Structure 1
């Protein structure tokens, strides 16, 4: 574990360079006293003549240079006074020297773009006799103070480092955990450089298993949670997804001894997933082996770098109909070849639900309704469930009993384990088609598909059982006839001319099946695209936020991963 001791640095030398001209005490004091268009202090300082409107170009340039000069000089108090949030900015700016152990820094502003000023950082970090250069780029924005009218740096932790977020700090010291050498099922090394979207996963694996697997920590500069030594805890329903992120290494001053960590990932599937998500922004995908629950690939392409593939909480749309179909079969309300009325619209407790373009299937079966993704066919039976007094509980019961949704998963990394809660009113009908209060992510839906494919729930895992502490979630096997009907209907969806997944799955070989989904989100102009499918002993699910129809965006992502095989 990281040492809790933080050793201060005395006598550090700080330099700021702006446009080739040195900025020192003269410019700093000039700005603080409000002359020359400098930034001025925060709203608690002596008020200057109030100004309104956006900061001028001179004000932006002046306050940026003065702020960088104070920061580079090591004067956190003065730099903080040039921001619009002294209380939050001063500890981070002071910690840059005291906690991150920066002994020298050159800050070079670039050309402003409106109120935004980019700058580069050339620094030196020294800790216990070890010294190493450190460089990166960041930016700041200038706004007008609400009370004083002065130009001020609009404070955000990302000013200090672009990866810093609220509640995090920069620290240099003994690493929180030993480094790892993660390998896939075939012994291929998995690195952030080769598989970029595995970054959060590898960080989590290191956090949890680096020391257990026999490694030794090194000395690093890292981003960690403020006031804590740890990262996220293991999966516990939705709780783990909200825990602090694992520490992120920015610079290694001395390498530790890496622990060899075997994972269930497959380099081929992972490589395909990395390429596939790059084609769509805000996309995530997970692949799972149905016969074992072993996770084969996890990939994200998101602006916020969040691991939505395993920790996201989104309505899954019509991919939910896999579990809804299982519930209807289990309760004797429908079967694969039985009639299931598909009308253009249906009303449940005052709310009207529609099919896409209000289509209908006269004389259709559940298989056809499933393959064409008819919403009304899967909502209409709610009335019969209501007559039995189980309308609000039937779907949650099926989700937990057969698919493990509602249990606590012990995956080996932080996960959100899906939520199909008891409901009432229109939310009961909405849940049948993956809307309302239902929340899932690609890991959850890949597991649901894997359960349908294999006939039994195998809780997803990413490391060997010997490393994972705690119990593994279990569920009852699906009745054989139910499992076969789910596979048949998914196969029809992926192969029949009218199946909504046929186009996306056309290039996937083997025995295959699929289910599409589109989830409407309030205040979002375009629905989220969902797709889940299987090919032989590999299942995958993907979501592309604002991607539209399931087969249009998420479909090609899943198909690419399945085609890579495992």
Structure 2
């Protein structure tokens, strides 16, 4: 790293008696001139010193040592220095040359690019003597550093400042140093590996085969990690594992969010640096900024804002005794303090996040809940339960089912082909290009107002009406809420996909959220927020960050004034009456078929918003993967709103 120079100490050699000094390329003669003296030797001295330093800095320690008075001792010295400063590279600049009757001195400056630490620079001097083979560097520990003596070597220590916090909407830190228990195996204590692996597997869920293989492959005396648990989680399995011969439980601390799932998809995790992360954060020249053992962000915002949160490493280099038994901790000859990072503020609201976590936590199936602030696009909560891949909350791609009807209705209302009061047929089935589409259990409402068809989620109505629209009408309606936008965010949000060239049966399926339409829970929450506020907004993951994109235009106030009462009716009389007593809630349910089973499996959706609750207006979306119906998603939404009051 060359973004910061460490301090160092050193000395410059000085000429004694009569000397020739070369400075800045000019030759200055100091002292009286003697007639008939030999040619100026300064250039030869400079060339000898330069050759030694070029070989050393170029990584050829043997060649460099061969230019000294004691090649064997110098080889050992340079090899020791390479071990002391692992992966460091040296840049050497030759300065003044002084030649005396007794020899010569060459001043030089060293700059060490300490891998994953700031540069360390100091001034030094080489002593040279003239022998039969010309000028040679005098072998001595001071070749490496002016304060290095016999029986000593350098000791490099890196350090990171305390990681800057990721905060909630109020600026309160969301991560804290937390005690963890590292459940693992000491191979030397194992008496029955299959039994040990089976016992640990039963308690932790880690495959017994994997545990046994890791233990068998471990070098002698090495701790074999199985899983790291927060203290309460370890206490829950303590009785199962504590007395297993070979199992050991060293403790440490880690920077953790309040709970293991708290905003996980957005916030990410902090842990020991992986090679992938180290390479990802390398400088433009490929030099690493961080090293193995550093605590770094491994995912989410913790990874996306790595440099801002981690800051710049510091270092110290000390001269210490080669004999560790002396206990000589040495003296510091170079150092740079670590530079702390700066916080990253999110719009997360812990009260909403905790309520969302509790709501999804009650489901055995993979479940997600994303909460957005209407009018701003701020992500207030991003929640997934233990059964779920947390990334699906933001970047998952799922057919949205009938929750898509909010956008199909937007297209119909925008085109003026229907109003909420328009009588529309809702037969049990309808056929498009030879393919039959049906309502759930083929319910048949006859002819009803559009609002009722929407509230009861009549597929056949929306298919028949959507087929009268231009082929790109659904795409344009969805785009008015930001669907299909290439959001530029630190943590990706899939903005959805509504193809613009659909026709026939594909167009019919798209109108009810099947076919080729795909959405993420986060984007559906943004759609709900746009309907609630009338001013759709780009998503916001970090307060003060550049906009993720241009704010969507929205469908217009006239359309929203018609759509909102239709969504309210879903809660009052339609498919989401389970939310009728949770305040002024508006929404749309969805059941989205997927897979090849007969009958097909289905995801359960609910997207909507609540006005005027204790936390203000909020929009949200629930997805229960393979929930089979929208009812389970409504139940999650009910638990969420109930927790908020």
Looking at structure 1, the residues matched to 608 and 353 of structure 2 have their Cα atoms a distance apart, in angstroms, of 16
Bigger proportion of residues as strand: 2
Q: C-alpha displacement at 1:486, in angstroms?
A: 0.9
**Structure 1 residues 424, 64: closer, same or farther in 2, change over 3 A?**
same
Looking at structure 1, the residues matched to 189 and 246 of structure 2 have their Cα atoms a distance apart, in angstroms, of 10
Q: C-alpha displacement at 1:227, in angstroms?
A: 8.1
> What is residue 353 of structure 2 aligned with on the other side?
270
Looking at structure 1, the residues matched to 635 and 266 of structure 2 have their Cα atoms a distance apart, in angstroms, of 23
> What is residue 567 of structure 2 aligned with on the other side?
490
Cα RMSD between the aligned structures?
4.1
Conserved? CA contact 2:430–2:438, under 8 Å: yes
2:219 alignment partner, one of 61, 72, 79: 72
The answer to whether residue 517 in structure 2 is matched with residue 452 in structure 1 is no
The answer to whether residue 419 in structure 2 is matched with residue 419 in structure 1 is no
The answer to whether residue 398 in structure 2 is matched with residue 314 in structure 1 is yes
Q: C-alpha displacement at 1:256, in angstroms?
A: 8.6
Looking at structure 1, the residues matched to 226 and 607 of structure 2 have their Cα atoms a distance apart, in angstroms, of 48
Looking at structure 1, the residues matched to 359 and 281 of structure 2 have their Cα atoms a distance apart, in angstroms, of 32
2:540 alignment partner, one of 451, 461, 464: 461
Q: C-alpha displacement at 1:226, in angstroms?
A: 7.4
The answer to whether residue 265 in structure 2 is matched with residue 200 in structure 1 is yes
**How many residues matched?**
386
Looking at structure 1, the residues matched to 245 and 460 of structure 2 have their Cα atoms a distance apart, in angstroms, of 56
Deviation per CA, 1:154-184: give whole Å up to 9, x if none.
xxxxxxxxxxxxxxxxxxxxx9xxx8xxxxx
Looking at structure 2, the residues matched to 364 and 193 of structure 1 have their Cα atoms a distance apart, in angstroms, of 50
Conserved? CA contact 1:122–1:134, under 8 Å: no
**Structure 1 residues 135, 358: closer, same or farther in 2, change over 3 A?**
same
> What is residue 171 of structure 1 aligned with on the other side?
none
Deviation per CA, 1:388-429: give whole Å up to 9, x if none.
xx22x11011111x2111112244432111111222342111
Q: C-alpha displacement at 1:303, in angstroms?
A: 3.2
> What is residue 516 of structure 2 aligned with on the other side?
437
**Structure 1 residues 338, 15: closer, same or farther in 2, change over 3 A?**
closer
2:413 alignment partner, one of 329, 335, 341: 329
Q: How does 1:100-499 map to 2 (within 5 A)?
A: 104-105=222-223, 192-194=257-259, 196-203=261-268, 221-223=272-274, 225=276, 228-229=279-280, 245=299, 257=340, 259-280=342-363, 281-303=365-387, 305-385=389-469, 390-391=470-471, 393-400=472-479, 402-422=480-500, 423-464=502-543, 466-468=544-546, 472-496=549-573, 499=574
Greater CA drift, 422-431 or 271-280: 422-431
Q: Secondary structure at the residue paired with 2:219? A: helix
2:595 alignment partner, one of 522, 526, 537: 522
Conserved? CA contact 1:517–1:529, under 8 Å: yes
Looking at structure 1, the residues matched to 509 and 402 of structure 2 have their Cα atoms a distance apart, in angstroms, of 10
Conserved? CA contact 1:107–1:121, under 8 Å: no
**Structure 1 residues 65, 444: closer, same or farther in 2, change over 3 A?**
closer
Conserved? CA contact 1:106–1:122, under 8 Å: no
Looking at structure 2, the residues matched to 460 and 565 of structure 1 have their Cα atoms a distance apart, in angstroms, of 23
Greater CA drift, 345-354 or 368-377: 345-354
The answer to whether residue 585 in structure 2 is matched with residue 512 in structure 1 is yes
Looking at structure 2, the residues matched to 304 and 5 of structure 1 have their Cα atoms a distance apart, in angstroms, of 36
1:20 alignment partner, one of 191, 215, 238: 191
Conserved? CA contact 1:493–1:514, under 8 Å: yes
Q: Secondary structure at the residue paired with 1:561? A: helix
Q: Secondary structure at the residue paired with 1:259? A: coil
Q: C-alpha displacement at 1:540, in angstroms?
A: 0.8
Looking at structure 2, the residues matched to 287 and 383 of structure 1 have their Cα atoms a distance apart, in angstroms, of 33
Structure 1 length as normaliser, TM-score? 0.60
Looking at structure 1, the residues matched to 225 and 488 of structure 2 have their Cα atoms a distance apart, in angstroms, of 45
Conserved? CA contact 1:315–1:439, under 8 Å: yes
Q: Secondary structure at the residue paired with 1:376? A: helix
> What is residue 634 of structure 2 aligned with on the other side?
555
Conserved? CA contact 1:15–1:72, under 8 Å: no
**Structure 1 residues 230, 426: closer, same or farther in 2, change over 3 A?**
farther
Q: C-alpha displacement at 1:382, in angstroms?
A: 3.6
**Unaligned runs of at least 5 residues, structure 1:** 8-13, 24-59, 74-102, 110-117, 124-132, 137-174, 180-190, 207-219, 232-243
Looking at structure 2, the residues matched to 443 and 22 of structure 1 have their Cα atoms a distance apart, in angstroms, of 45
Larger radius of gyration: 2
Conserved? CA contact 2:353–2:380, under 8 Å: yes
> What is residue 538 of structure 1 aligned with on the other side?
618
Looking at structure 2, the residues matched to 18 and 119 of structure 1 have their Cα atoms a distance apart, in angstroms, of 6
Q: Secondary structure at the residue paired with 2:343? A: strand
Q: C-alpha displacement at 1:501, in angstroms?
A: 0.7
Looking at structure 1, the residues matched to 351 and 482 of structure 2 have their Cα atoms a distance apart, in angstroms, of 28
